[in-house]
């Protein structure tokens, strides 16, 4: 199995000095290609911090992070931007869509930063929106859509990027159970299509559908197991 | 470059999303640009007006006078000839004598003001001969009763412009003489200011040989003139100035008697124009204070906009926007705001300038380069005052930005 994410002895310390917070404490973690990982843990345990690290939104205070074998722990802001654009698709709890843009325009955004021309962008965005069942909502703005639909736009945006890694931080945290099911279905499909999917969740029901479950507490990895209940479906 | 187009598009979109606020921001720029442009256009009008009024003096002249308290010598046709011989760098000399009276033409009778001089009087203004010719040195020497009259004079006296060959009967006090029209020239500013002088009727103007004028009054041209004007070529006025006094003293035999006075009189020359330009620029600078205030308004709104859109910036960064992408987007937003404001400002400024020019009576001249410069200024104001907020936006940390509400 090829290594995609390799985290070595990473610490993340907020407010170093007086009342410092060790959000990540000597974490070691390796994730390969085409894995389906759930990260669970209590509130404040460091899940989001870990995800930001994996997603190159943040750099570690100490330790090393290799993505595709490349050391990304000391990259400049712009280099990190480029890596995020090429390698990472984010799905956030709060959807993170730009309110003034339509579904299409939101999906095209990362492609603009990649320098892809209008025509190809339109094509990719359309394919992505179709694949999450939103062909009829292309020209709607986020405030004209339900939470589940908004989250599907966010997923379509990640799909259009075609990144090797999909990072989902509480993707269903703001959704009702039927929308949640739909989102999880799409996420699982993306895994089956060959991507590595990392889902952070409070919901043990969701975690149980992942192939590998990592539990963290107080910034440390407590357990890292292959899910015995995992079912291909 | 395609990507820059995208950033500009998103800048336009965000301006449209906040129409009211965008307009208020622009208002400062609109007023500033309008004020600056109005002043510059009126300044141009002022310059045109001033140089128009002075155009009759455009040729540089030297006034030469003989002090009668020191000598009884004066200028005569002979010594003026001699001076001209030794001063080949000038057009020539002309004394001045005025013949004022009533002029009777075939059609009507008007008050008329005739300037008597030599043929070089033709260099005194920029007004051109429309028909016929100016009178010549031969006319002067032969005291021919010929005249060159203004367009207005021709129309009023004879009913048509090309009045060559017509005669005017001039009556002044108890003498009467007839003059043949040999030329018709463009009106001068004098004609304009004489337009409604006597009983709402114009006073007409024309030029005649000084010898003919003297003859009409029965004066002797050899004892008449203590003042003459030398008309100079623009190019060698300095040489002429330096030589004139000694040449006149030599020719008239007045060397060492301190009786000859030489004064230069310049028309609307470069330094006068420069002064007008400086005045215009100073007023424009004062007006541009409002432009600075407008620019600060832009900066203020941009800062609010950045703060409001922190989350959007975070989202863009998480999707791969580089520092420069965000910078360009916000700079474009500021520049588009001020550019649009500038365009409105130009329209408004030209409107005000037109109104004021009409009101004051200036010609309304719009220099296209001025308009281009003003557009440039308005964009620069946006870029200059947009840099700080745009820079602030581009440096936001994506995690903090995403977390903000
Ligand atoms: N910018 C920050 N400055 C200071 N402390 C921070 C910052 N971000 C996170 N922390 C702290 O780091 C720890 C881990 O936070 P993190 O957001 O990773 O938790 P989490 O596991 O995602 O929690 P939740 O399930 O509630 O989202 C927390 O104690 C939090 O208070
Ligand atoms: Mg979290």
Where are chain A's structural domains?
A: 3-226
pLDDT tier at A74 (50, 70, 90 boundaries)?
Answer: confident
DSSP B405: -
Contact: A113, B2; criterion CB under 8 Å: no
- Shortest alpha-carbon distance between residue A208 and chain B (Å): 28
pLDDT of residue A53: 93
How far is it, in rounded angstroms, from Cα B369 to Cα B391? Answer: 32
How many angstroms separate the Cα of A123 from the Cα of each of A127, A153, A203, B319? Answer: 6, 15, 35, 19
B29, B298 contact by CB (below 8 A): yes
Distance from CA of A229 to the nearest CA of B (A): 34
- Top residue of B12, B14, B315, B316 to mutate, by most chain A CBs within 10 Å, is B315
CA distance B175 to B100: 11
Interface of B with A in 7-66 (CB under 8 A): 13-14, 17
What are the start-end ranges of the E strands in chain A?
Answer: 3-14, 21-32, 36-40, 62-67, 70-71, 88-92, 165-169, 196-200, 212-217, 220-226
Closest C-alpha to B264, from B48, B57, B125 = B57
> So what's the pLDDT on residue B34?
92
pLDDT of B3: 72
- CB-based contact B67:B227 (threshold 8 Å): no
Residue A199 CA: distances (Å) to CA of A31, A37, A47, A183, B156 = 13, 6, 10, 12, 100
A/B interface, count of CB pairs below 8 Å: 64
- Are B378 and B298 spatial neighbours (Cβ–Cβ below 8 Å)? no
- In this predicted structure, what is the pLDDT of residue A18? 82
Ligand 1 proximity of A209 Cβ (cutoff 6 Å): no
Residue B319 is nearest to which of A58, A113, A118, comparing CB atoms? A113
CB A80 within 8 A of CB A56: yes
The helix-helix angle for B19-53 and B323-360 (nearest 10°) equals: 40
Say whether A101 and B13 touch across the interface (CB within 8 A): yes
CA atoms of A215 and B189, how far apart (whole Å)? 97
Whether A84 contacts chain B with CB within 8 A: yes
Residues A113, B324: C-beta atoms closer than 8 Å: no
Whether A52 and chain B come into contact, CB under 8 Å, resolves to yes
Closest residue by Cα to residue B307 from B373, B206, B405: B405
Tell me the per-residue pLDDT of A7-49, one tens digit each, with 9 for 90 and over: 999 999 998 888 889 999 999 999 999 999 999 999 999 999 9
Identify the bridge partners of residue B205 per DSSP, sorted by sequence position: B113
Confidence (pLDDT) at B59 = 59
CB contact under 8 A, A84 and B14: no
Cα separation, B206 vs B168, whole angstroms: 11
**Nearest residue of B to residue A51, measured between CA atoms:** B399
Atom nearest to B403 CA in ligand 1: 1
The residues with which B101 forms a beta bridge, in sequence order, are B112
Q: Is A110 on the interface with B (CB under 8 A)?
A: yes
Q: Which of B2, B316, B323 minimises the CB distance to A109?
A: B316
pTM of the model as a whole = 0.69
| Those residues with Cβ within 8 angstroms of residue B115's Cβ, 6 or more apart along the chain or in another chain | B96, B98, B121, B205, B206, B207, B208
Q: Which residues surround ligand 2, an ion (CB under 5 A)?
A: A 48
Report the nearest atom of ligand 1 relative to the CA of A45.
21
pLDDT for A123 beyond 90: yes
For residue A160, what is the nearest residue in chain B, using CA coordinates? B319
Task: Evaluate: CB of A46 within 6 angstroms of ligand 1.
Answer: yes
Q: A127 in contact with B at a CB cutoff of 8 Å? A: no
CATH match for A3-226 among 3.40.50.720, 3.40.190.10, 3.40.50.300, 3.40.50.10860 = 3.40.50.300
The pLDDT of residue B1? 43
Question: In 3D, which of B2, B147, B104 has the Cα closest to residue A121?
Answer: B2
The SS3 call for residue B265 is strand
pLDDT computed for residue B172 by the predictor: 84
**Which ligand is nearest to the Cα of residue B399, counting in written order?**
1
Set of chain A residues whose Cβ sits within 8 Å of the Cβ of B318: 55, 57, 84, 90, 96
Written as one string, the DSSP assignment of B318-374 is HTT--HHHHHHHHHHHHHHHHHHHHHHHHHHHHHHHHHHHHHHT------HHHHHHH
Q: Which atom of ligand 1 is nearest to the CA of A202?
A: 25
Phi, psi for residue A72 in degrees, rounded to 5 = -110, 10
Which residues from A are below 8 Å from B3, CB to CB? 112-113, 115
Distance in angstroms (rounded) separating the CA atoms of residues A58 and B58: 75
Q: CB-CB: which of A78, A82, A90 is closest to B318?
A: A90
pLDDT at residue A63 greater than cutoff 50:
yes
Distance, CA of A211 to CA of A219 (rounded, Å): 22
Q: For residue range A176-193, what is the model confidence (pLDDT) as tens digits?
A: 999 999 999 999 999 999
Q: Give dist(CA B163, CA B132) in Å, integer.
A: 9
Q: What is the mean pLDDT of each run of 10 residues along chain B (405 residues)?
A: 74 85 87 88 80 57 85 87 84 88 89 90 79 91 92 90 91 88 86 71 89 87 86 72 83 81 68 76 81 85 86 93 91 90 93 90 84 88 89 89 83
Q: Are B83 and B254 in contact (CB under 8 A)?
A: no
């Amino acid at each position: 199995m090829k290594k995609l994410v390799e985290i070595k002895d990473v610490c993340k310390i907020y407010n170093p000095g007086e009342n410092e917070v060790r959000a990540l404490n000597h974490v070691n973690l390796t994730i390969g290609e085409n894995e389906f990982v759930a990260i669970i843990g209590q509130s404040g345990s460091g899940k989001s911090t870990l995800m930001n690290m994996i997603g190159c939104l943040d750099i570690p205070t100490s330790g090393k992070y290799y993505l595709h074998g490349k050391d990304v722990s000391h990259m400049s802001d712009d280099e990190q931007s480029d890596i995020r654009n090429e390698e990472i698709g984010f799905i956030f709890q709060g959807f993170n869509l730009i309110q003034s843009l339509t579904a299409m325009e939101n999906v095209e955004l990362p492609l603009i930063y990649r320098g892809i021309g209008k025509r190809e962008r339109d094509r990719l965005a359309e394919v992505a929106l179709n694949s999450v069942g939103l062909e009829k909502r292309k020209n709607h703005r986020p405030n004209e859509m339900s939470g589940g639909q908004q989250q599907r736009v966010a997923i379509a945006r990640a799909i259009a990027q075609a990144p090797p890694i999909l990072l989902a931080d509480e993707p269903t945290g703001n959704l009702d159970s039927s929308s949640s099911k739909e989102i999880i279905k799409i996420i699982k499909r993306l895994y089956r299509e060959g991507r590595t999917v990392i889902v952070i969740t409070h919901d043990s029901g969701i975690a149980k559908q992942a192939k590998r479950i990592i539990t963290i507490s107080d910034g440390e990895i407590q357990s890292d197991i292959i899910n015995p209940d995992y079912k291909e479906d | 470059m395609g990507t820059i187009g995208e950033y500009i598009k998103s800048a336009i979109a965000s301006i449209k999303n906040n129409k009211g606020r965008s307009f208020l921001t622009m208002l400062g720029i609109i007023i500033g640009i309008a004020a600056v442009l109005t002043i510059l256009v009126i300044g141009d009008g002022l310059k045109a007006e001033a140089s128009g009024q002075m155009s009759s003096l455009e040729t540089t002249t030297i006034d030469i006078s003989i002090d009668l308290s020191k000598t009884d010598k004066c200028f005569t046709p002979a010594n003026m000839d001699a001076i001209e011989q030794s001063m080949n760098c000038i057009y020539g000399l002309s004394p001045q004598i005025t013949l004022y009276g009533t002029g009777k033409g075939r059609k009507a009778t008007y008050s008329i003001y005739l300037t008597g001089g030599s043929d070089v009087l033709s260099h005194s203004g920029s007004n051109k001969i429309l028909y016929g010719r100016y009178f010549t040195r031969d006319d002067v020497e032969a005291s021919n009763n010929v005249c060159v009259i203004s367009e207005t004079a021709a129309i009023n006296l004879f009913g048509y412009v090309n009045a060559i060959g017509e005669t005017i009967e001039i009556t002044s006090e108890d003498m009467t003489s007839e003059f043949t029209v040999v030329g018709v020239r463009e009106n001068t500013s004098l004609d304009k200011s004489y337009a409604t002088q006597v009983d709402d009727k114009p006073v007409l103007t024309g030029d005649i040989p000084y010898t003919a004028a003297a003859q009409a009054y029965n004066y002797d041209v050899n004892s008449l003139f203590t003042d003459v004007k030398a008309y100079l070529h623009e190019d060698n006025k300095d040489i002429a100035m330096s030589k004139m006094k000694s040449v006149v003293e030599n020719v008239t035999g007045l060397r060492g008697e301190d009786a000859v006075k030489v004064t230069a009189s310049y028309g609307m020359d470069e330094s006068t124009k420069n002064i007008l330009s400086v005045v215009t620029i100073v007023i424009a600078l004062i007006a541009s204070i409002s432009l600075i205030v407008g620019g600060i308004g832009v900066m203020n709104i941009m800062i609010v906009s950045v703060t409001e859109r922190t989350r959007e910036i975070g989202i863009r960064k998480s999707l791969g926007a580089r520092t420069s992408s965000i910078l360009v987007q916000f700079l474009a937003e500021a520049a588009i705001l001020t550019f649009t404001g500038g365009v409105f400002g130009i329209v408004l400024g030209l409107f005000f300038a037109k109104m004021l020019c009409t009101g004051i009576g200036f010609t309304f001249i719009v220099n296209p380069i001025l308009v281009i410069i003003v557009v440039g200024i308005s964009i620069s104001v946006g870029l200059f005052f947009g840099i700080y907020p745009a820079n602030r936006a581009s440096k936001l940390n994506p995690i903090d930005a995403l977390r903000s509400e």
